[in-house]
Amino acid sequence: MAGASVKVAVRVRPFNARETSQDAKCVVSMQGNTTSIINPKQSKDAPKSFTFDYSYWSHTSTEDPQFASQQQVYRDIGEEMLLHAFEGYNVCIFAYGQTGAGKSYTMMGRQEPGQQGIVPQLCEDLFSRVSENQSAQL
């Protein structure tokens, strides 16, 4: 297995209805794999920047060229996990964050076309790969 055994991804979700109604301001920006956060109470301070293996911008709409779809997140994270699982490695993915941060949406998604999360897409690929290769060695 090439590369690190632990990878970290961060995803910025859209504002929810409450945040929109309160005219909330986004304090997060992303450039490549770097995520920066500004303190709205101390906007003169330099932003705090952090680098992750993956930084996904899902705060805006799909028309935004930086927008990370469910499929993009799966292609980057889920496909590699499935590959390593078939190579015989143990794999694990978990979502961490406060309530309402978007963990369930990223992992499970919605039952609408194009809205499936990592887990349903991974299961679909897993069963597809197994049905395509009936030999004893996958």
- Which residues are annotated as part of the binding site for ATP? 97-104
Kindly give, in sequence order, each residue whose CB lies less than 8 Å from that of residue 35, ignoring residues fewer than 6 positions away. Answer: 10, 12, 28, 29, 49, 50, 51, 52, 55
- Which residues are annotated as part of the binding site? 97-104
- CA 82 to centroid of chain Cα atoms: 16
Type of residue found at 32? G
Helices 79-86 and 118-132, packing angle to 10 deg: 40
